[in-house]
Homo-oligomer: A and B are copies of this chain.
Amino acid sequence: MINKTIKNAEEAVKDIGSHSVLMLGGFGLCGIPENCIAALLERPLKGLTCISNNAGVDDFGIGLMLKEKMVKKMISSYVGENKEFERQLLSGELEVELIPQGTLAERIRAGGAGIPAFFTPAGVGTEVGEGKEIREFDGKLYLLERWLRADFSLVKAWKGDTAGNLIYKGTARNFNPMMAAAGRITIAEVEELVPAGELDPNAIHTPGIYVKYIFQGSNYEKRIEQRTIRKT
């Protein structure tokens, strides 16, 4: 089995250049590639396009990359919770493309699966549909949407093996599997890296074929945005 192991996040991101298109997994701060983001912050990068459902918060996740002014453009579905983001957007420093969350997920899935375009009902009659082809199927209107692909996809999984197979945990799966497939070069960071053969082939969420490099991350903070507790 092909061994995809590399040492750490620093090695993982060393070939990422300015003006690259990146996909970063996660929903809010859940399932984000913390180690890769930290390593990117150490590099003198500019003009990145980041495709990610959210843009982190002011002091964590992609928010830190925004602070360093590495990001030229964000492609996201929801970008609340972030003041620096709002400032850069309103001042015109940052380009933003907002996409319905399901369309974002499906465009990324299409990128990995070799589907250059598809029709979806989301956004018909709204700003999102402006300039896009509209077509009727069985009496309902749909928009034509294109695939999304990236130069590098940075994904985070719970467990992984040296062959690049990944298993996510809970709702930290979210955008990670589709992004793993849609990156020309996909880098996976995992909480636990095991030898090929130790994961149940039937329980794998991302087959290793999509993953170019894998490493075991460290010091996961896993910050919680809304810590809601029930008392008993």
Contact = CB atoms under 8 A, between A and B. Distances in A.
Contact of A121 (B114, B121, B167): B114
What class of interface size applies to chain A in its complex with B?
A: 20 to 34
A169 B169 CA distance: 21
Interface string A115-154: 1111111000000000000010110101000100000000
A216 to B, nearest CB: 20
A14 to B, nearest CB: 29
B119 A137 contact: no
Contacts of A121: 114
Contact of A118 (B118, B138, B140): B118
Interface in A143-187: 146, 167-170
A106 interface: yes
A229 interface: no
A19 to B, nearest CB: 19
A119 B120 contact: no
A202 interface: yes
B202 A169 contact: yes
